[in-house]
């Protein structure tokens, strides 16, 4: 019979503690760990080992246990209650984590599992450090009922309250079903691991029963479904290791909190580096596309771009770069896809990125080349007015440094939506190839010269003539620059050095807005 704790020697107590702790650290045990590995997944402890700098992880509340006795849970040991919580250093900076472990009761979330997550989220907020959730769970612990749902609600509440205060990142590394998808949705960034993760509010069986649609897990809620179709996932990664490496890369661009300085890295690139290749990037033919990412890369330190939402709404690129070692958020039309037009998804993608950057003091650099907002019933009925308004709102409310560069087309509402001067750009520049006008020349002439065109002997020739004079007046940067709406016309090759000088000049920018409870962004 085991000795009473009070009768044990100190050495025995320490030995018993180590034994107990080792048992908890073993999580779901050998068999479950092997199953996890066979599926190509790492365990939560192995993931934590990859995320944090060696030896820096400090576990929090390892000894917490569930206290449920229903449906077979009485006396059932679930080590660490299925979730490892704590903090450590990622490249020398403190980050808090909650890592669900599928090997322990499927990482299912019960009352105490949730309270461990609450605790570590509260610590992250109080410490003003980023929070990372590694999700791998069968969802609400079915045996615990309402306490599990209450647990989720407390997480959603904390995600929402911490939003804009500390960066929050979710990595989906296994199943995430039902309401469990909403914590990731409330965080700033969602990573998913290919072949091993999915997110949906109801799985294929329910879909089949309710709407008689047959769909696989992957098709319904796999990484590429969310990375390319829904936009829920910002980064579709190859495997656990790739996922965690990319989480670390993202963290390297982010401050610890909205009150913390930006992470500046030593810069080996030069502030006045010219980019002669940019002088030839704009095609002579106005209707031809080109890859805006080439321009972003040319301007960035060492050509490095870190791009969320690479596969979704490709007509707009959002990306983190560094200029002279300081993080910058880039928003740019990409004429390679759909002429860089703004549609519902592109507007959502850009607006959320702008708001994230503004919340965390990351300056905004905008490159414009678009024919406007996307017309048509599909877009109108999907609410392009509502979604497009998000960009206007996001840019207007942003108080970080805002610099914009028109590379080619900047027409109508699209021109405004890409951080025009009137939305508070601190400095608006244009390349000589810029065309800044209310609309395309022929369309404009059809409206203002309708009678002249229809009454002409050769209406097409008349339209062409009139359009040429409209183009000469408006489809260039000179008229806008003569009014100071464009602050400067620059050579493409000078873009990096101009932007670097402006960002340096504006790095102490402080702007305040009206005192109120909060804005009401169109949702």
- How many other C-beta atoms can be found within 10 angstroms of the C-beta atom of residue 248? 18
Q: How far is the CB of 105 from ligand HXC (least distance, A)?
A: 5
Percentages of the chain per state (helix, strand, coil), in multiples of 5: 45, 15, 35
Q: Is the dihedral of CA 373, 377, 379, 383 positive or negative?
A: positive
Give the 3-state secondary structure of residue 105.
Answer: helix
Q: How far is the CB of 33 from ligand HXC (least distance, A)?
A: 12
Q: How far is the CB of 34 from ligand HXC (least distance, A)?
A: 13
Conformation bin of residue 216: beta by default, left when phi > 0, alpha when psi is -120 to 50: beta
Q: How far is the CB of 235 from ligand HXC (least distance, A)?
A: 22
Taking the least distance from each CB to ligand HXC, the nearer of 106 and 440 is: 106
The answer to whether 398 and 437 have CB atoms below 8 angstroms apart is no
The Cα-based distances of 103 to 25, 78, 197, 306 in angstroms read 12, 10, 15, 33
- Supply φ then ψ for residue 188, to 5 degrees: -75, -35
Q: How far is the CB of 135 from ligand HXC (least distance, A)?
A: 11
Reading the block at residue 236, the tokens are: 């579709």
Scanning 142-239, the segments in alpha helix (DSSP H) are: 146-162, 182-186, 204-211, 217-221, 223-224
Taking the least distance from each CB to ligand HXC, the nearer of 125 and 177 is: 177
Taking the least distance from each CB to ligand HXC, the nearer of 105 and 237 is: 105
Pairing, β 93-100 against β 83-90: antiparallel
Taking the least distance from each CB to ligand HXC, the nearer of 84 and 410 is: 84
Taking the least distance from each CB to ligand HXC, the nearer of 149 and 521 is: 149
Tokens 């203002």 locate to 448
- How many other C-beta atoms can be found within 10 angstroms of the C-beta atom of residue 460? 10
Q: Write the DSSP symbol of residue 227.
A: I
Give the whole-angstrom CA distance, residue 406 versus residue 343.
Answer: 19
User: Rg for the chain (alpha carbons), in Å?
Assistant: 27
Taking the least distance from each CB to ligand HXC, the nearer of 134 and 384 is: 134
Q: Write the DSSP symbol of residue 180.
A: G
Taking the least distance from each CB to ligand HXC, the nearer of 105 and 404 is: 105
Q: How far is the CB of 127 from ligand HXC (least distance, A)?
A: 27
Taking the least distance from each CB to ligand HXC, the nearer of 139 and 184 is: 139
Taking the least distance from each CB to ligand HXC, the nearer of 66 and 93 is: 66
Taking the least distance from each CB to ligand HXC, the nearer of 149 and 501 is: 149
Taking the least distance from each CB to ligand HXC, the nearer of 16 and 73 is: 73
Q: How far is the CB of 106 from ligand HXC (least distance, A)?
A: 2
DSSP bridge partners of 236: 192
The residue ranges that bind ligand HXC (CB under 6 A) are 105-106, 108, 138-142, 149, 152, 175, 177-180
Q: How far is the CB of 150 from ligand HXC (least distance, A)?
A: 9
Q: 32-48: buried (b, 16+ CB within 10 Å) or exposed (e) per residue?
A: bbeebeeeebbbbbbbb
Q: Looking at beta carbons, which residue is closest to ligand HXC? A: 138
**Of 96, 112, 106, 110, nearest in space to 58 by CA:** 96
The answer to whether 168 and 206 have CB atoms below 8 angstroms apart is no
**Of 184, 169, 167, 254, nearest in space to 226 by CA:** 184
Q: Write the DSSP symbol of residue 176.
A: E
Q: How far is the CB of 151 from ligand HXC (least distance, A)?
A: 8
Q: How far is the CB of 227 from ligand HXC (least distance, A)?
A: 21
């Amino acid at each position: 019979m085991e000795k009473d704790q009070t009768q044990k020697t100190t050495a025995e107590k320490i030995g018993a503690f180590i034994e107990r702790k080792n048992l908890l650290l073993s999580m779901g045990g050998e068999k479950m760990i092997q199953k996890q590995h066979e599926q190509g997944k790492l365990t939560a402890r192995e993931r934590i080992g990859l995320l944090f700098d060696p030896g820096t992880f400090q576990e929090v509340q390892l000894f917490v246990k569930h206290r449920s006795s229903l449906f077979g849970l009485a006396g059932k040991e679930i080590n660490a209650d299925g979730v490892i919580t704590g903090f450590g250093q990622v490249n020398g900076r403190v980050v808090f984590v909650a890592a669900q472990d599928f090997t322990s009761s499927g990482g299912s979330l019960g009352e105490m599992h949730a309270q461990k997550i609450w605790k570590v989220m509260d610590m992250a907020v109080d410490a003003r450090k980023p929070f990372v959730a590694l999700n791998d769970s069968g969802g609400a612990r079915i045996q615990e009922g309402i306490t599990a749902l209450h647990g989720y609600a407390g997480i959603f509440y904390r995600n929402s309250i911490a939003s804009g205060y500390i960066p929050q990142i979710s990595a989906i590394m296994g199943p995430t079903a039902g309401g469990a998808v909403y914590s990731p949705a409330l965080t700033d960034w969602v990573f998913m691991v290919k072949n091993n993760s999915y997110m949906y509010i109801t799985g294929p069986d329910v879909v089949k029963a309710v709407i008689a649609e047959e769909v696989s897990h992957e098709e319904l809620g796999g990484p590429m479904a969310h990375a390319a179709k829904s936009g829920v996932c910002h980064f579709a990664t190859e495997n656990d290791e790739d996922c965690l490496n990319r989480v670390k890369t993202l963290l390297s661009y982010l401050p610890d909190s909205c009150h913390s300085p930006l992470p500046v890295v030593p810069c080996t690139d030069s502030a006045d580096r010219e980019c002669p290749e940019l002088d030839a990037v704009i095609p002579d033919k106005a209707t031809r596309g080109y890859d805006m990412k080439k321009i972003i890369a040319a301007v960035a330190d060492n050509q490095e771009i870190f791009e969320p939402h690479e596969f979704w709404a490709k007509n707009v690129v959002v990306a983190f770069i560094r200029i002279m070692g300081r993080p910058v958020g880039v928003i740019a039309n990409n004429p390679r896809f759909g002429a860089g037009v703004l549609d519902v998804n592109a507007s959502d993608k850009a607006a959320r990125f702008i708001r994230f950057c503004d919340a965390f003091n990351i300056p905004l650099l905008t490159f414009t080349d678009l024919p406007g907002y996307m017309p048509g019933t599909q877009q109108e009925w999907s609410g392009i007015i509502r979604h497009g308004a998000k960009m206007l709102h996001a840019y207007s409310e942003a108080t970080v440094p805002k610099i914009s560069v028109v590379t080619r087309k900047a027409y109508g509402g699209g021109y405004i939506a890409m951080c025009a001067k009137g939305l508070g750009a601190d400095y608006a520049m244009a390349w000589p190839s810029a065309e800044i006008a209310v609309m395309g020349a022929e369309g404009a002439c059809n409206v203002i010269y309708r009678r002249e065109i229809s009454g002409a002997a050769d209406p097409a020739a008349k339209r062409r003539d009139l359009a040429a004079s409209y183009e000469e007046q408006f489809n260039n940067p000179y008229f806008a620059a003569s009014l100071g709406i464009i602050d400067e016309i620059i050579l493409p090759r000078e873009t990096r050095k101009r932007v670097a000088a402006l960002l340096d000049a504006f790095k102490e920018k402080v702007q305040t807005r009206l005192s109120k409870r909060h804005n009401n962004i169109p949702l």
